[in-house]
Every structure is written in C-alpha cells, then in structure tokens.
Amino acid sequence: MQKDLGDYRKSYEKGVLSESDITKSPFDLFERWFLEMDKKFPDLETNAMTLSTIGLDGFPKGRVVLLKMYSQNGFIFFTNYNSEKSKSMFANPNVSLSFHWEGMERQVIIKGISEKISSTESDSYFDTRPIGSKLGAYVSMQSSVINSRKELEDKLNNLSIKFKNKPINRPDFWGGFIVKPVEFEFWQGRSNRLHDRIRYRTNDNINWKTERLSP
C-alpha cells in the first residue's frame, strides 16, 4: 500500500498571534482561545485533547481524552486508574496535552506534571455523570483484553439490573488526574508556513517567561 500525499496542502489565513495578543499568564490566553473556538464551532468538542505519555514499554503514546475542568491550578480529566495511560502516569508523571483547533487554525501544546486529584473531587464529578456513563465506568476494565463486545454488553445489562433505582457510587479504580503545566506553546497557522509560535515557561507556575519561536 502506498499513496503520495505531497499535494495535500492548504494555506493558513485565519488569524495571527502578535505580541499584543500575549497575556501575562498563559492560562488567560488559553481561556481566550478556548472560548473563541467553542463559540464559533459549538458542535465540535473543543475540550478534546491528545494526552501523550511514556509507556511502561518505553514508547510514547498519545490518545484523545476530554478535558473536564481547567483553572490556574491545571487541567483535569478522568479515567480508569488501572488503564494503560494511568499506569504510565504513575510510573512517569511527565505528560503532554495537545489541543488541535482546526477551525481556527490553532494548536496549544502543554507540558506538565500529572497527579491524582482527591477522592472528594472525583466523587463530585462522578455524581454529575449520566447513569449510562456511571455504569460504563464499572463495566470497562480499561485496556484489558476481552473476548468480544458481547462480554461488555452482558455486563452492562447485569449492572443495570443490579443498580436499578439505587445510587451508583464512584468505583475506587476510577477518578481524575490533574496536569500542572510547566510549559505552554501557542501555535497560530500563517501563510507561507511562517506560523506564529509563542512559548511560555515557568519554574513556579506564577512567573512565566514568553519567547517567540521560529516556525
């Protein structure tokens, strides 16, 4: 199988990232871009991000997860603590988050340190989930090998009966991680491949140094 993709090209013309756009805190610029994307493309998952980790086998791996909360403290998502990605983060908490907002021709890459959030915070979020999602957390032993999809569907049916008209509490093996950033890179596509790239770096999450990078 072979296909030449050399002619797959487009010119990026939808925006600029000038020095006047740079905020003191990268969280402020992130929020501005996030809200702009969310407003202009409400049907897309603006909160979809690629989480990249270093696996126990030594290889990097990225997968799309959904950002559920963000603040000056960091970026929170939820998963099974026994999953491949969780095991990777427990072994090596250094991770990367990437947001690709094609509609705005923008990308944000965040390097940070991951850690579990408190049980109370995970409980609070779990309580807001639809019933099907709560049951799904129990059904899926994420990343483990299964014999067929029917195995999942049978387990879901059994749990639906078990929990009918009963509260569904968060399982201990499911919860949140927070990624505390040490670096942000904001990318805005420009014409002639002369893209705008602004990097923020910090040692204390308070004072941020900004630099313009060559595209």
* Residue ranges per structural domain of the chain: 19-127+172-212, 128-169
What class does CATH assign to 19-127+172-212?
A: mainly beta
pLDDT of residue 203: 86
Residue 189 in this model has a pLDDT that exceeds 90 = yes
| Mean pLDDT, all residues of the chain | 96
Cβ(122)–Cβ(62) under 8 Å?
no
Burial call 136-157: b when 16+ CB within 10 Å, e when fewer: bbbbbebeeeeeeeeeeeebbe
Please confirm, yes or no, whether 193 is among the known catalytic residues: yes
pTM of the model: 0.94
Catalytic residue among 32, 63, 193, 212: 193
Residue 136 binned pLDDT confidence (cut-offs 50, 70, 90): very high
Residue 143 in this model has a pLDDT that exceeds 90 = no
Residue 49 in this model has a pLDDT that exceeds 90 = yes
Residue 44 in this model has a pLDDT that exceeds 90 = yes
